[in-house]
Amino acid sequence: MKIAVLKIRLYAPWVHSLKEKRMIIKSLLAKIRNKFQVSAAEVEEQDVHQILVIGVAAIVPHSAQADSVMDEIVDFVEQNTEAEIVAEEREIR
């Protein structure tokens, strides 16, 4: 059994308030949780308007599936938001 941990940092230049940011991130997190059956949350930069940082954790049977799930989540995030992915960190434990 492996634990896949993924952190995605996004930049959304059109966001001008924390309320707007929270609406975007809340929707994106719900979609990720429902589609992939993983844990997902905003993990950093909660008080910065234009930076969104999403943390995702999943339990998988082996490393190959961990990589596959993380790739699918990154692709899903790219397709479901106009925000630009500026960084991603992956860890398999």
Please count the structural domains in the chain: 1
Does the pLDDT of residue 72 top 90, yes or no? yes
pTM of the predicted protein model: 0.86
Q: Residues 78-87: what's their mean pLDDT?
A: 90
Q: Residues 34-59: what's their mean pLDDT?
A: 91
pLDDT of residue 35: 93
pLDDT digits (tens, 9 = 90+) for 30-44: 999 999 999 999 998
The answer to whether the CB of 75 falls within 8 A of the CB of 49 is no
Q: Which domain holds residue 27?
A: 2-92
Closest CA to 92 of 76, 69, 73, 75: 69
Supply the CATH number for residue 77's domain. 3.30.70.1120
DSSP SS3 for 47: coil
